Structure 1
Amino acid sequence: MLDKNLTPSAFEGRLYDAWERAGVFAANPTSNAVPYAIVLPPPNVTGSLHIGHALDHTIQDVLIRWRRMQGQDALWQPGTDHAGIATQMVVERLLATEGKDRREMGREAFLDRVWAWKEESGGTITRQMRRLGTSCDWSRERFTMDEGLSEAVREVFVTLHEQGLIYRDRRLVNWDPKFQTAISDLEVESREVKGSLWYLRYPVEDEPGRHLIVATTRPETMLGDVAVAVHPDDDRYRDLIGKHVILPLVGRRIPVVADAYSDPEKGSGAVKITPAHDFNDFEVGRRHDLPSPSVLDEYGRVVLAEIEADLRAVDGVASPDFLRGLAGVDRADARKAVIAELERIELIEKIEPHTHAVPHGDRSGVPIEPRLTWQWYADAKTLAAPAIQAVEEGRTRFEPKQWENTFFAWMRDIQPWCISRQLWWGHQIPAWYGPDNRVFVARTEDEARAQARTHYGDDRELSRDPDVLDTWFSSALWPFSTLGWPKQTPELNRYYPGDVLVTGFDIIFFWVARMMMMGIHFMGDVPFRVVNIHGLVRDEKGQKMSKSKGNVMDPLELADAYGADALRFTLASLAGPGRDARLGRQKVESTRSFVTKLWNAARFCEMNGIGPAPDFDSSRATTPLARWLLDAANDATRTCEEALEAFRLDEYAAALYRFTYGTFCDWFLELAKPALNGEDSAEKAEIKAVAGHVLGTLLRLAHPVMPFVTEELWDRFGYGPEGSLIRAPWPETASVPGAEEARAELGWLIAFISEIRSVRAEVGVPPSTQVPVLLGGAASDTLARAGRWSDAITRLSRTPSVTALEGTPPAGVVQGVVGEATLMLPLAGIVDLPAERARLAKEHAKASAEATKIATKLANPDFTSRAKEEVVEETRERLAAAEAEAQRLAAAIARIAA
């Protein structure tokens, strides 16, 4: 007998261990079944499961379990990413607690320590994934730095270099002064900073007393200025274009150039151009063929080496001695010193408070410095062209489709991809340098030495490039490297390309696009047919979750509190197409009630001797109730399948909820009770058989999203061998004779009982009070139905009788309508109808006023344009709720007024 109370912890761990031991998650490359493949976006090896992972993995697990039940050979390829900078940071912090430093240890010893940490702690997130029911093929788990994937990385790098698609260049990068490395745009976060906008006077050459006013937020980088840009149509400065100004403090002559980058509406309309320390300035410098001297080193300290020759004393402007004193000073202190010196020589026009976005390293927390360095680059523009074409032609499609525009916007304006990082943990770049700095790119050091010997004519000392590759480089190969490439394995031939990639919109650029580029280039085909994009998980107010706000939700804690099935179903129900999900504990708790409802329904079935009906034939059902349930099961099966095909997990969850909670539990079991409690009969046997059959159907439909409770019930009822639901066939629709008539009959009954319940609830009839129902204008068919189902109506709507109205309605009736009939509840003496009408009118006025107030707020452009997106969305939801409440109350008033 099932326990009275649902206790997920009693079976979740046991069931998962049994599944994994039985190997039911494993794909079978030798199978004749249709293959279906999903690659798991590899989480960082340093990571712990967060709520975003839980949503992402739930979507994938629902899809993979569903396809597995359909009989397909399903591969869900798992693995983890080495997460270069994140992992190095974790281990460096660990070493710091021991009083050690990686530079003192040396590269080899440090990497040994990282590998040791990975073996001990790197599997945390995959263990946590199991807790939520993730049914990956763990026998195929990969790591982006295991030997097979490392071979793939070397092969790709060398091949692209030989094809001229990987090269070295000196360009600006996002430089993290704390971690001493270039970082990707994804590792940069903009923070609002309250600062100043300084208006500086740049003396115009040969025009004593005239200054060009330049507005800047970074006076410390002015030492590297090579020009001042003004808009070509700005009349204020037209006569200065082509002339020179004197750079304060340095004394260098710099030209005034005309460039549309300068915005006449911002600041002074004149912009200092510092190509080595600003991305926009770098592009201006290239357009005007300007030099790019660096004045900050890798630590963000002032360095004068590249401008030393320019330092010259100009009365009242240049201060070479002051500048030499700045050498080695940190950028923040240098800013203060520069401003003080400019004030001393009276070259500050004014200072304004200025709040602006400053890029910071997401892990280091320090301001990022645009820095001009030699790095390795991939020719992303060339690699992107076939990927763009593949999406244009529909060989890969985005769901929802609007995300294709995001993909195109970035890919069509793509910049060279900086693929090198100044770290120790990662794939070390397979490049060696000769004594004259000539580079030899090869798969192995022996190959590099052979190249050098051919070039020099003898053996020379070679040094390997110390940099490692961007983490996204190896993860870009994930769809095919995990299947054994560059070897031509059976898995590669069978599971590439994959069927679907499920991921968030935030890595379309950084991962999805790069997998497309590399997959097409090396495999000749797209890596996946569909990219299913989901939104972020926000809190119930629509705010982004963050530790600083204190609104982070731990999926493991939620699973422990409410069960993994409840969390998974909640996330699936919120997974609308491309929109953010709003999650609160109350939603998970509510879903726990739904899971409990299923458990209790199964327990009721068990208590009534209902179980598997292996020989059940839907075409032989005779009773309207049985036919109605079978028809509803067919409809639920179709709806669930259509929703999953369209990646509408929210609609799949909604269909399950309606069928389980509404159709099966609230109506079928309630309507079946008289037969189940009665003497043995053909009707009772049929009701028990159809209940057992449909319960099995329901468990199969719900299994992909609620795997634990469905498997436990499947096993306990004996629908198949223990642990077999995961491979049980997905339900198919079956012929039901008389389905249309049964649907009409039961549809009327449910509408009739529901209307009586609604009328009673809206006017406040006490639940224990029995109220007769009068039917006015009812057709003979309706009266006949009321007679056939009188016992059910009496029991479920608390009415002693349903009779046809004769003559005029009595005083004090409240009305409802079902079909052509008007049902009337005589409530005189039971409910004070005038008082009830007044109460409802007061509540209606309040709800209407609230709706008007919110609508006025939303009609204000100042609010909709300035408020945060989540605030506007929450306000729209409040308006919808207020309008719905006003409509409900108006309907209730109308019932009484009639």
Structure 2
Amino acid sequence: MTQDSAEMLDKTFDPAAIEAKWYAHWETAGLFRPERPDATPFTIVNPPPNVTGSLHVGHALDNTLQDVVIRYERLRGKDALWVVGTDHAGIATQMVVERQMEQRQDKRTNYTREQFIEKVWEWKAESGGTITGQLRRLGCSMDWSREQFTMDPHFTKAVVKVFVDLHQQGLIYRDKRLVNWDPRLKTAISDLEVETREIDGKFWHFRYPLSDGSGHISVATTRPETMLADMAVAVNPSDERYQALVARGATVTLPITGREIPIVFDEHADPELGSGAVKITPGHDFNDFEVGKRAGIKAADMLNMLDAEAKVCQTSDGLIPAEFIGTDRFDARKRVVELMDADGLLDKIEDRVIQTPYGDRGGVVIEPWLTDQWYVDAETLAKAPLEAVRSGAIEIVPKTWEKTFFNWMENIQPWCVSRQLWWGHRIPAWYADDGSIYVAETEEEAQSQAGNKALKRDEDVLDTWFSSALWPFATLGWPDDNALLSRHYPNDLLISGFDILFFWDARMAMQGIHFMKEVPWKRLYLHGLVRAADGQKMSKSKGNVVDPLGLIDQYGADALRFFMAAMESQGRDVKMDEKRVEGYRNFATKLWNAARFCQANGIGASQSVTAPAATAAVNRWIIGEVVETVAALDKAMADLRFDAAANTIYQFAWSQFCDWYIELIKGQFDDETKAVAGWVLDQILVMLHPFMPFVTEELWSKMGARPYELIVAKWPEPQAPIDAQAKAEVEWLIALVGNLRAAKAELGIAPGARLTAYLADPSEQTRSIISHSGTVIDRLARLDAIRFEPAPAGAAMQISAGDAMLAIPLEGVIDLASEKARLEKALATSIKERDSLGKRLENPAFVEKAKPEAVDKAKADHAAHSAEAERLQAALARLG
């Protein structure tokens, strides 16, 4: 799709007309991973989106930043590989398929496991992977020829090997522990998949009678139903009130069940809270589980009073009354309170806001549940990543995230990796009737270990994050040795949202170092969230979710991408601002129009990577500006300062090239200027391409004959000096014209009005600039002359340019009195508004009590009025 000659651009820039065309060409031609066997490799992996997912603004930010990096490194000649794929998303995918079944009055349990899994694969073939098409619309230049899926056969092979190896090394084990149980999904979920909500609840105070009839102990609970499985009452060893009771081995007899339980010492009990005594239900509370263990209760002996649907079941001691069996946990709560009240054992009820755990997918209250699960020894695996970050083998950007990383990894808990689902990687463990467990890569190997014993396969599957933790190396063909793996592992960079630092990033670090003996990536860049314009978190319930595809439809992918990059400032949250997206669409349009102007004046594609020879000051200046821009852009990309990188190319393309250079060269299109202008436009297209790939590729193709597409062009190498003399000369002219235009606007003087300037005692440099820039000064500054003498007496405006201060008489140009009166009136208004807002912002009551958006608006208005007052004061000063 390279061009043999220039082709005239359409009058208007239409993103939709070029985006689909170019993306299809890039992908079909294999340009996302050109053959570069001898080049330096550069590798990133995409955080695999759920196969059920669709593009949201978080994806748009995350993938834009990755694409900026990969296009940049590709242009620099690297063998750039961007690994792409989707995650099988165990819970999410099973929920989607089951929901569709429900709509047809069908359900999973009407099928065998194998039949249901077949239906999930059918769903994936028909509906899965919507997001991959949407990533293409965003312009993501991933290597789709090697698209991965975490349930691909080669990936399953890697997952099984990792599980078996870790088990053989004692780093995976089966244990009876409390887990976060989702009664709706009927599976364990991780701590990270639990969201805590503040719920209006109650605090019930009960009396537990001492077994010898000598009194009672008061306890309080937010979950009265759990008393059906209480196993102890704990008091603090320092609490004088209970020393004698514990010393004599006193017990309490639980109401309703009649179970006799001990009173034990434990630091968990807070003497300052309530009565200082707490009920202990080790089978249904994470803190109580630890207290129970310290009291000598084995996990196998802890009482369980709930089934998988969170309905009451009989405990092993058979003491729960029959009326409770099969009732919902919340119905059981009401009945327990009624019975305690009827027996006169309910002291009081307090209203209280309760921190309540909910499953982020099931949407119901999570129940701590005692069950047998598979665990990874995360504490052991976390040691190597901790050392890698401390030593600098892994660099976390921004560095401020290191403290959070250390804190979590140093206090990491065993990782529960088993899930009670049908869709996912089935755990490679087999059970014999005698309780023996055999872990192996195949059933044949397990049977070989077990001899002639009958075996039954574990029904559970692995946590989705267990398989995605292998993404940096399993996607490259591990465990098989191959050239791709040795060339592209470790990866160079990982870009992810900070919200999956522990879900995914930390677990990749653990598994990567353990199995590959090297870090999975050398740098980890954590970006913030995309928030609504007012700074609030986006949510469907608030109705403030922004659809990135809608923004692409309206403004084009390039504008959305540039917004995301320009607003990403080292991990700070990005505030959505549609006006700015629109502004970057205008930026693309301005560049389009500049290219059309070049075409109309015989300026086309450059044939050189290095800068052309130049003699004219304006050409030497713009070449020097390219040199500085490339250096600034390279530094920003090396530092992963996406905002600085975007701003660098934006300012150069818009201000130096489109606004000033084009204006300065109008009317002098000699061969040198055409060559320089064509070369500079090419450098802009290359530097801007990582941010705005579509419009730049289209312009590149239309400006003339090319040996290759822009996506695989060469990164700028001007190999030219910065000409200090040319820079000073052109910047002097820009200052003169810019300051004069601003002054005219301030004083209400028509832009085209021709004036005369006076400059006494100019420096030699200034005199030289003026002497051979007469044409430009006449055309752009609209000055009839600059006289090297003092200005006549009377009002005059002062205009600075370099080391010169020019005076321009205003007599006869404007009505000085009325202009002064107008400016003074406007100034008084601005000062009044500025000071009023200043007082409001100094008032702590307003700052603390007003809505954040009201405070932000007041600050913005104060800044605007302050700036306007300064501008008006400057305008008055010009009038003398």
TM-score, with structure 1 as normaliser: 0.92
Contact residue 841 and residue 893 of structure 1 kept, 8 A:
no
User: Could you say which residue in structure 2 is the equivalent of 1:173?
Assistant: 179
SS in 1 for 2:512: helix
CA gap of 1:686–1:269, structure 2 versus 1, over 3 A, is: farther
Indicate the larger mover: 94-103 or 771-780. Answer: 771-780
Pairing 1:413–2:411 present: yes
CA gap of 1:26–1:707, structure 2 versus 1, over 3 A, is: same
Give identity over the alignment, percent.
49
Contact residue 636 and residue 655 of structure 1 kept, 8 A:
yes
User: Could you say which residue in structure 1 is the equivalent of 2:710?
Assistant: 725
Pairing 1:699–2:685 present: yes
- Give CA-to-partner distance per residue, 1:869-891, whole Å, 9 cap, x none: xx48x946863663464145235
Between the aligned partners of 1:190 and 1:617, the Cα distance in structure 2 is 59
Between the aligned partners of 2:663 and 2:421, the Cα distance in structure 1 is 66
Which amino acid counterpart does residue 461 of structure 1 have in structure 2?
A
Between the aligned partners of 2:737 and 2:375, the Cα distance in structure 1 is 70
User: Could you say which residue in structure 2 is the equivalent of 1:456?
Assistant: none
Between the aligned partners of 1:252 and 1:292, the Cα distance in structure 2 is 14
Pairing 1:559–2:564 present: no
Indicate the larger mover: 741-750 or 756-765. Answer: 756-765
Contact residue 814 and residue 896 of structure 1 kept, 8 A:
no
Between the aligned partners of 2:784 and 2:226, the Cα distance in structure 1 is 88
SS in 1 for 2:174: strand
Between the aligned partners of 1:349 and 1:514, the Cα distance in structure 2 is 48
The structural deviation recorded for 1:613 is: 3.0
Contact residue 275 and residue 293 of structure 1 kept, 8 A:
yes
User: Could you say which residue in structure 1 is the equivalent of 2:390?
Assistant: 392
Indicate the larger mover: 80-89 or 264-273. Answer: 264-273
Contact residue 479 and residue 515 of structure 1 kept, 8 A:
yes
SS in 2 for 1:304: coil
User: Could you say which residue in structure 2 is the equivalent of 1:57?
Assistant: 63
SS in 2 for 1:275: coil
Pairing 1:467–2:460 present: yes
Contact residue 420 and residue 467 of structure 1 kept, 8 A:
yes
| Aligned pair partner of 2:702 in 709, 712, 716 | 716
Indicate the larger mover: 813-822 or 514-523. Answer: 813-822
| Aligned pair partner of 2:726 in 732, 742, 751 | 742
SS in 1 for 2:351: strand
Contact residue 834 and residue 866 of structure 2 kept, 8 A:
yes
Which amino acid counterpart does residue 336 of structure 1 have in structure 2?
K
User: Could you say which residue in structure 1 is the equivalent of 2:4?
Assistant: none
The structural deviation recorded for 1:824 is: 4.4
Pairing 1:549–2:559 present: no
SS in 2 for 1:170: strand
| Aligned pair partner of 1:532 in 525, 531, 537 | 525
CA gap of 1:240–1:570, structure 2 versus 1, over 3 A, is: farther
CA gap of 1:808–1:757, structure 2 versus 1, over 3 A, is: same
Which amino acid counterpart does residue 542 of structure 2 have in structure 1?
K
The structural deviation recorded for 1:820 is: 4.2
SS in 2 for 1:720: coil
Between the aligned partners of 2:18 and 2:770, the Cα distance in structure 1 is 45
CA gap of 1:637–1:85, structure 2 versus 1, over 3 A, is: same
- Give CA-to-partner distance per residue, 1:755-785, whole Å, 9 cap, x none: 2233333444454655554557754543553
The structural deviation recorded for 1:222 is: 1.7
Between the aligned partners of 1:527 and 1:482, the Cα distance in structure 2 is 12
Counterpart mapping for 1:791-810 below 5 A: 791-797=775-781, 801-803=785-787, 806=790, 809-810=793-794
Contact residue 621 and residue 736 of structure 1 kept, 8 A:
no
Which amino acid counterpart does residue 836 of structure 1 have in structure 2?
L
Which amino acid counterpart does residue 686 of structure 1 have in structure 2?
E
Contact residue 618 and residue 736 of structure 1 kept, 8 A:
no
- Give CA-to-partner distance per residue, 1:663-721, whole Å, 9 cap, x none: 10011001111313xxxxxxx22211110000001100011111111111111112524
Which amino acid counterpart does residue 866 of structure 2 have in structure 1?
A
User: Could you say which residue in structure 2 is the equivalent of 1:163?
Assistant: 169
CA gap of 1:387–1:203, structure 2 versus 1, over 3 A, is: same
User: Could you say which residue in structure 2 is the equivalent of 1:282?
Assistant: 289
CA gap of 1:617–1:62, structure 2 versus 1, over 3 A, is: closer
SS in 1 for 2:364: coil
| Aligned pair partner of 1:21 in 21, 28, 32 | 28
The structural deviation recorded for 1:733 is: 3.3
Pairing 1:822–2:805 present: yes
Contact residue 361 and residue 368 of structure 1 kept, 8 A:
yes
Between the aligned partners of 1:560 and 1:232, the Cα distance in structure 2 is 67
CA gap of 1:793–1:249, structure 2 versus 1, over 3 A, is: farther
User: Could you say which residue in structure 2 is the equivalent of 1:215?
Assistant: 220
SS in 2 for 1:179: coil
CA gap of 1:378–1:809, structure 2 versus 1, over 3 A, is: farther
Pairing 1:10–2:17 present: yes
User: Could you say which residue in structure 1 is the equivalent of 2:278?
Assistant: 271
Between the aligned partners of 2:749 and 2:342, the Cα distance in structure 1 is 85
The structural deviation recorded for 1:360 is: 1.1
CA gap of 1:889–1:641, structure 2 versus 1, over 3 A, is: same
Runs of 5+ consecutive residues of structure 1 not aligned to the other structure: 312-319, 454-458, 677-683
Between the aligned partners of 2:220 and 2:764, the Cα distance in structure 1 is 87
- Give CA-to-partner distance per residue, 1:340-371, whole Å, 9 cap, x none: 22222222222222122211111211111111
The structural deviation recorded for 1:120 is: 1.4
* RMSD (Å) for aligned C-alpha atoms: 2.4
Runs of 5+ consecutive residues of structure 2 not aligned to the other structure: 1-7
Counterpart mapping for 1:461-540 below 5 A: 461-540=454-533
The structural deviation recorded for 1:259 is: 3.3
| Aligned pair partner of 1:226 in 231, 247, 262 | 231
SS in 2 for 1:638: helix
| Aligned pair partner of 2:566 in 542, 564, 573 | 573
CA gap of 1:112–1:342, structure 2 versus 1, over 3 A, is: same
User: Could you say which residue in structure 2 is the equivalent of 1:185?
Assistant: 191
Pairing 1:896–2:876 present: yes
The structural deviation recorded for 1:556 is: 1.4
User: Could you say which residue in structure 1 is the equivalent of 2:744?
Assistant: 760
The structural deviation recorded for 1:797 is: 4.5
Indicate the larger mover: 283-292 or 579-588. Answer: 283-292
The structural deviation recorded for 1:33 is: 0.9
User: Could you say which residue in structure 1 is the equivalent of 2:825?
Assistant: 838
The structural deviation recorded for 1:201 is: 2.3
Between the aligned partners of 2:668 and 2:658, the Cα distance in structure 1 is 16
Between the aligned partners of 2:18 and 2:502, the Cα distance in structure 1 is 41
SS in 2 for 1:99: coil
User: Could you say which residue in structure 2 is the equivalent of 1:298?
Assistant: 308
Between the aligned partners of 2:353 and 2:608, the Cα distance in structure 1 is 74
User: Could you say which residue in structure 1 is the equivalent of 2:42?
Assistant: 36
Contact residue 609 and residue 714 of structure 2 kept, 8 A:
no
CA gap of 1:602–1:335, structure 2 versus 1, over 3 A, is: same
User: Could you say which residue in structure 2 is the equivalent of 1:445?
Assistant: 443
Contact residue 384 and residue 510 of structure 2 kept, 8 A:
yes
CA gap of 1:488–1:807, structure 2 versus 1, over 3 A, is: closer
Between the aligned partners of 1:641 and 1:480, the Cα distance in structure 2 is 29
- Give CA-to-partner distance per residue, 1:572-593, whole Å, 9 cap, x none: 1111101111112212111100
The structural deviation recorded for 1:516 is: 0.9
User: Could you say which residue in structure 2 is the equivalent of 1:154?
Assistant: 160
Which amino acid counterpart does residue 139 of structure 2 have in structure 1?
G
Which amino acid counterpart does residue 706 of structure 2 have in structure 1?
G
How many residue pairs align between the two structures?
862
Between the aligned partners of 1:508 and 1:615, the Cα distance in structure 2 is 45
Contact residue 696 and residue 719 of structure 1 kept, 8 A:
no
The structural deviation recorded for 1:636 is: 0.8
Between the aligned partners of 1:777 and 1:266, the Cα distance in structure 2 is 84
Between the aligned partners of 1:770 and 1:258, the Cα distance in structure 2 is 94
Between the aligned partners of 1:445 and 1:526, the Cα distance in structure 2 is 33
SS in 1 for 2:340: helix
Contact residue 823 and residue 875 of structure 2 kept, 8 A:
no
